[in-house]
Amino acid sequence: MFFVVTGQGLNGPIAVTCETAAAAVEKARSFIAHGALDVIITDADGRQHLPDHFHGLLLGTQSL
């Protein structure tokens, strides 16, 4: 499965793909730590996971 992490960086939109949920959560948290806004993780099924629910990806639960 793959995950796409998106957000609004200081210089415009940012996006990166990750192969695992753990990598996606790590990248999303990094984006947030560096000031990105509207950070979302989208999984291969199109489900979007907001920051308050990132832990659910690591536990294998659904967010939205």
SS3 1: coil
d(CA 13, CA 25): 18
Domain ranges of the chain: 3-59
Q: Look up tokens 């291969």; give the residue.
A: 44
pTM: 0.87
- At residue 61, does pLDDT exceed 60? no
Backbone torsions φ then ψ of 14, nearest 5 degrees? -130, 150
pLDDT of 17-48, one tens digit each? Answer: 999 999 999 999 999 999 999 999 999 999 99
Strand segments (E) across 1-64 = 3-9, 12-18, 37-43, 48-49
Question: At 49, which amino acid appears?
Answer: H
